[in-house]
Amino acid sequence: MSSLATGLKGRAELGVSLLLGVVGILVFLDANGLVTPYSQSDPVGPKTVPFIVSGLLIVCAVLLAINVLRGGKGEAEGGEDVDLAHPADWKTVLPLAGAFILNVLLIDWAGWVISGTILFWGSVLALGSRRYIRDGLISIALSLLTFYGFYLGLGIALPAGLLEGIL
């Protein structure tokens, strides 16, 4: 069990190196695709820096892969409210991300008041609160307050969506 777990953990960090490599290649291909006539006023051109960046990314990807395979390990970030003794709690994170995605999908159509309510209520729920009604009321109040606050205070009209005309 533990050897499998450590093996998986090692492999997970290789994902970082993979990401760096992929981004590096993307940056390289993108820069390579730029067509620029040489100009006296701009000898460096728009390609040079992307090439350097992609080089740095790929070098980091390779070195990181070597480092990880040789047993190197990134130190996970601690904090006041962080307990690294137990593994990542996906049962909290995934529903949180779900509430977030729901908000992204709904915001333009249903409007901020509805999508924001879902976002806050869903997040509070995902984080373990079980006072459904009180949380719901807080969510609605918060979305309404921010909607009017942004409109009246900052002059930013958040989308009203389905509630257009009511708000």
41-100: contacts with another protein (CB under 8 A) = 41-46, 48-50, 53-54, 56-57, 60-61, 63-64, 67, 72-77, 79-84, 86, 88-90, 92-93, 96-97, 99-100
Residues 127, 96 contacting (CB under 8 angstroms): yes
Nearer to another protein, 114 or 158 (CB): 158
First to last CA, the chain: 57
Binding test (CB under 8 A) with another protein, winner from 5, 18, 69, 127: 127
Residue 139 CB, shortest distance to another protein, in Å, is 9
Q: The tokens 């003794």 sit on which residue?
A: 85
Nearer to another protein, 1 or 130 (CB): 130
Q: What φ, ψ does residue 95 adopt, rounded to 5°?
A: -60, -35
Decide if residue 22 touches another protein (CB under 8 A): no
Instruction: Report the distance separating Cα 109 and Cα 1, nearest Å.
Output: 47
Count of residues of this chain found to bind another protein when the rule CB under 8 A is applied: 84
Instruction: Report the distance separating Cα 107 and Cα 118, nearest Å.
Output: 10
Nearer to another protein, 79 or 165 (CB): 79
Residue 2 CB, shortest distance to another protein, in Å, is 19
Question: Which H/E stretch holds residue 142?
Answer: helix 132-148
Decide if residue 7 touches another protein (CB under 8 A): no
Decide if residue 110 touches another protein (CB under 8 A): no
| Residues in contact with another protein, shown as a per-residue x/- string from 129 to 158 under the rule CB under 8 A | xx----x--x---x---x---x--xxxx-x
Cα 149 from chain centre: 26
14 Cβ contact list (under 8 Å, min separation 6): 65, 68, 69
